[in-house]
Amino acid sequence: MSKFKDAGHLFRFAGLFVLLFVVFLVVRHFVVPKSFGKYGHYRADAIGEVAAHPAKFAGHETCEACHSDVADKKGKGKHAHVNCEACHGALVKVLPAPPPPTPNLYERMVALVIKPMPVDPPVLRHAEDPASVVPELPDTTVLCARCHTASAAKPKGFPQVVPADHSNGLACKTCHDPHSPAMDAGGTK
Amino acid sequence: MNISRRQMLILMPAAAIAWKAVLAGTPEQSPNYTMSEHWWGMLIDIPKCIGCGNCVRACATENDVPDGYFRTWVERYHVSDEDMTNPEVISPDGGKEGFPVAAEDDKKYFFVPKMCNHCADSPCTQVCPVGATFISPDGVVLIDQKYCLGCAYCVQACPYGCRYINPQKETAEKCTLCYHRITQGLTTACCEACPTGARQLVDLKDPKDPIHEFLKTHSVEVLKPQMATGAKAFYNGLDGSVR
């Protein structure tokens, strides 16, 4: 009499394990995103999604493409290294975050329960449509004071004033040209 | 060819694994950008910072940072002669609208801009239970907004306090080093808006980047070096009292 005459149930059990393993692999194939693990323990597609965020600051090169006269004047003055948008603000079209491409099953199910947040209409800025969108000129009383108000924490060589004593509330651009502010550099108005 | 049930059971998982490898692949985010050619960091030149808050405002605009949350902020240190190791630090609204100048005494004051250090051995990425935060191949610590559960382990793990949970999305957010900009050849929004050049985006893999010469010739430090995070925000002229 063979020792293994009743071993059939062992093989059935082993078969069940193999079957479950296959089921696990199939489920895993559909559940784990395709790009997961390409570079490490994360979804490589997420890198592209972060990179897809719309830029709002155009960059000074964009501004200088049209405003070469201002760039030339600024380049010779004390504000040569202050970029345009440091004072004028972000000048590219401000877009709401783009909707995610083709939601998967889980996301579609979630969307049935939780309504997606409404998407705001895009706000056009100057660099996107220079002809029709004219940026507001900054108020120099506030703008200049942000950098040039005297403070013990600022570097000693940095030009600083107490605005109330220096101009008595007068807008800075009354006397200084913001693009070339030094009085002795031909920057006076 | 006859395949037995046993062979079939062995082949199927193997085929599944092979098929998975075939399907793997990510769309290139920017046509002229190769991740392996860059290793990003930031140079913060403390003696140049004037505490104007331009970087904080620019970051909030560029990255839709909710009010009261910060991906970068500016601190003002006040160090007295008697107690050098316990500085008084303020950062009203992240320094967004500047700092109060009234009631300054004759002791030491200086500004310290703070942001994600994009650590090469970041503690925040190690604690994520779902693989939602990671160091990209070009050295930027990023968050997968679709995978993040909002458990906030990473918020606790960051020794520099650079992460927050977005109150609307309920997922973790942080400085992306303006990844959408640097992959297109632009600099970060904070660097673009900084009027004094106190912040400079650096690429450590670019041999022509002036950072190499700068690091060689200046006293440069990273924050909390004892934590061995491999921080890549290099501070020039960092005072010993800065935490």
Q: Which domains does chain B have, with CATH numbers?
A: 38-236 (3.30.70.20)
Q: What b-and-e string marks burial along B194-216, b requiring 16 or more CB atoms within 10 Å of the CB?
A: bbbebbbbbbbeeeebebeebee
Task: Using alpha carbons, select from B146, B99, B148 the residue that is nearest to residue B128.
Answer: B148
Say which of A40, A81, A86 has its CB closest to residue B54.
A86
pLDDT at B27 over 50: no
Confidence bin at B28 (pLDDT 50/70/90):
very low
The distance of B207 to chain A (nearest Cα, Å) reads: 23
Q: State the pLDDT at residue B26.
A: 42
Residue B108: strand pairing partners? B79
Do B50 and A152 touch, CB atoms closer than 8 A? no
Tokens of B17: 């694994």
Rounded CA-CA distance A56/A91 in Å is: 7
Interchain pair B109, A37: CB under 8 A: no
CA B191/CA A180 separation, integer angstroms: 21
- CA nearest to B158, candidates B114, B216, B208: B114
A 160-189: CB under 8 A from B: none
* Average pLDDT taken over every residue of chain A: 85
Residues 108-167 (A) with a CB less than 8 A from some CB of B: 117, 146-147, 149-155, 158
For B136, the 3-state DSSP assignment is coil
Residues B189 and A92: beta-carbon distance below 8 Å: no
**Cβ within 8 Å, pair B193-A85:** yes
User: Cα-flanking dihedrals φ and ψ of residue B98, to 5°?
Assistant: 85, -170
Best mean pLDDT range from A13-27, A48-62, A98-112: A13-27
Contact B26 A38 (CB under 8 A): yes
The stretch B43-54 carries a mean pLDDT of 96
Give pLDDT, residue A122. Answer: 67
Query: Are B180 and A82 within 8 A, CB to CB?
Result: no
pLDDT at B82 over 50: yes
Angle formed by the axes of helices A8-31 and B5-23, to 10°? Answer: 10
Q: What Rg, from alpha-carbon coordinates, does chain B have?
A: 22
Chain A with chain B: Cβ pairs closer than 8 A: 174
CB contact under 8 A, A21 and B186: no
